[in-house]
Amino acid sequence: MKVTFQAFHAVAEWKWDLPEAADDTCGICRVEFEGTCAKCKFPGDDCPIIVGACTHCFHMHCISDWIASEASQGKCPMCRQIFKEKVADAATPSQRRDLVSPSAPVATPGQRQTGTPGTF
Protein backbone atom coordinates (compact mmCIF):
# COMPACT_ATOMS: atom_id res chain seq x y z
CA MET A 1 0.00 0.00 0.00
CA LYS A 2 1.47 3.32 -1.08
CA VAL A 3 0.83 6.40 1.07
CA THR A 4 1.04 9.95 -0.29
CA PHE A 5 0.76 13.18 1.65
CA GLN A 6 -1.81 15.64 0.40
CA ALA A 7 -0.67 18.42 2.71
CA PHE A 8 1.78 18.96 5.54
CA HIS A 9 1.45 21.85 7.97
CA ALA A 10 4.58 22.36 10.07
CA VAL A 11 4.65 24.71 13.02
CA ALA A 12 7.88 26.01 14.52
CA GLU A 13 8.32 27.85 17.77
CA TRP A 14 11.32 29.42 19.48
CA LYS A 15 11.83 31.23 22.74
CA TRP A 16 14.65 33.28 24.19
CA ASP A 17 16.78 31.60 26.85
CA LEU A 18 16.12 34.04 29.70
CA PRO A 19 16.88 33.73 33.42
CA GLU A 20 14.02 32.16 35.39
CA ALA A 21 13.27 35.32 37.36
CA ALA A 22 13.28 37.50 34.22
CA ASP A 23 10.21 39.30 32.98
CA ASP A 24 9.03 38.39 29.47
CA THR A 25 8.95 42.04 28.32
CA CYS A 26 11.68 44.59 27.65
CA GLY A 27 12.05 46.93 30.62
CA ILE A 28 12.44 49.93 28.31
CA CYS A 29 9.94 49.58 25.44
CA ARG A 30 7.63 47.15 27.33
CA VAL A 31 7.24 44.94 24.23
CA GLU A 32 7.37 41.18 24.76
CA PHE A 33 10.65 39.53 23.80
CA GLU A 34 8.73 37.19 21.50
CA GLY A 35 7.92 40.33 19.52
CA THR A 36 10.40 42.92 18.32
CA CYS A 37 11.72 46.30 19.41
CA ALA A 38 10.61 49.50 17.68
CA LYS A 39 13.72 49.55 15.43
CA CYS A 40 13.39 46.00 14.07
CA LYS A 41 10.95 44.50 11.61
CA PHE A 42 11.42 40.87 12.67
CA PRO A 43 12.22 39.31 16.05
CA GLY A 44 15.36 37.26 16.33
CA ASP A 45 19.00 37.76 15.57
CA ASP A 46 18.69 41.38 14.40
CA CYS A 47 17.75 42.36 17.95
CA PRO A 48 18.99 39.83 20.51
CA ILE A 49 18.11 40.04 24.17
CA ILE A 50 20.76 41.53 26.47
CA VAL A 51 20.76 40.25 30.06
CA GLY A 52 22.45 42.48 32.60
CA ALA A 53 24.49 41.34 35.60
CA CYS A 54 21.50 42.58 37.60
CA THR A 55 19.36 40.00 35.66
CA HIS A 56 17.21 42.65 33.96
CA CYS A 57 16.61 41.93 30.25
CA PHE A 58 16.29 44.34 27.34
CA HIS A 59 16.23 44.38 23.54
CA MET A 60 19.75 45.17 22.28
CA HIS A 61 18.61 48.37 20.53
CA CYS A 62 16.64 49.56 23.55
CA ILE A 63 19.50 49.20 26.05
CA SER A 64 22.09 50.54 23.57
CA ASP A 65 20.02 53.70 23.03
CA TRP A 66 19.35 54.00 26.78
CA ILE A 67 23.04 53.71 27.74
CA ALA A 68 24.01 56.18 24.99
CA SER A 69 21.69 58.82 26.46
CA GLU A 70 23.18 61.26 28.98
CA ALA A 71 20.27 60.79 31.39
CA SER A 72 21.08 57.10 31.93
CA GLN A 73 24.54 57.71 33.42
CA GLY A 74 25.34 54.14 32.31
CA LYS A 75 22.85 52.66 34.78
CA CYS A 76 20.19 49.98 34.41
CA PRO A 77 16.79 51.67 33.90
CA MET A 78 15.15 49.19 36.29
CA CYS A 79 17.45 49.08 39.35
CA ARG A 80 19.86 52.01 38.66
CA GLN A 81 22.99 49.86 39.13
CA ILE A 82 25.85 50.38 36.66
CA PHE A 83 24.77 48.26 33.69
CA LYS A 84 27.06 45.44 32.64
CA GLU A 85 26.14 42.51 30.44
CA LYS A 86 25.88 39.20 32.25
CA VAL A 87 28.46 36.85 30.76
CA ALA A 88 27.77 33.11 30.78
CA ASP A 89 30.42 31.12 32.67
CA ALA A 90 31.03 28.69 29.80
CA ALA A 91 31.13 31.33 27.07
CA THR A 92 34.41 31.93 25.30
CA PRO A 93 35.26 35.42 24.01
CA SER A 94 34.38 34.33 20.46
CA GLN A 95 30.92 33.20 21.64
CA ARG A 96 30.10 36.45 23.43
CA ARG A 97 28.46 39.42 21.76
CA ASP A 98 30.50 42.63 21.68
CA LEU A 99 28.62 45.67 22.91
CA VAL A 100 29.16 49.32 22.10
CA SER A 101 30.59 51.98 24.37
CA PRO A 102 28.55 55.19 24.91
CA SER A 103 30.81 57.12 22.52
CA ALA A 104 30.58 54.54 19.72
CA PRO A 105 27.82 54.74 17.11
CA VAL A 106 25.04 52.17 17.32
CA ALA A 107 25.28 49.60 14.52
CA THR A 108 22.40 48.99 12.17
CA PRO A 109 20.90 45.47 11.86
CA GLY A 110 23.31 43.21 10.00
CA GLN A 111 26.31 45.36 10.94
CA ARG A 112 28.58 43.94 13.67
CA GLN A 113 29.20 46.09 16.70
CA THR A 114 32.61 46.27 18.33
CA GLY A 115 33.78 47.34 21.74
CA THR A 116 34.84 45.83 25.03
CA PRO A 117 32.75 42.70 25.75
CA GLY A 118 30.31 43.15 28.59
CA THR A 119 30.69 46.90 29.04
CA PHE A 120 29.05 50.01 27.74
Domains, the chain: 16-120 (3.30.40.10)
* Cα–Cα distance, 102 to 12 (Å, whole number): 37
**Torsion of Cα atoms, 37 then 40 then 42 then 43, to 10°:** -40
DSSP state letter for 72: G
Q: pLDDT tens across 39-95, in order?
A: 887 766 677 888 899 889 898 889 999 999 988 899 999 999 999 988 765 433 443
| pTM for this prediction | 0.57
* Cα–Cα distance, 85 to 114 (Å, whole number): 14
pLDDT at 106 over 70: no
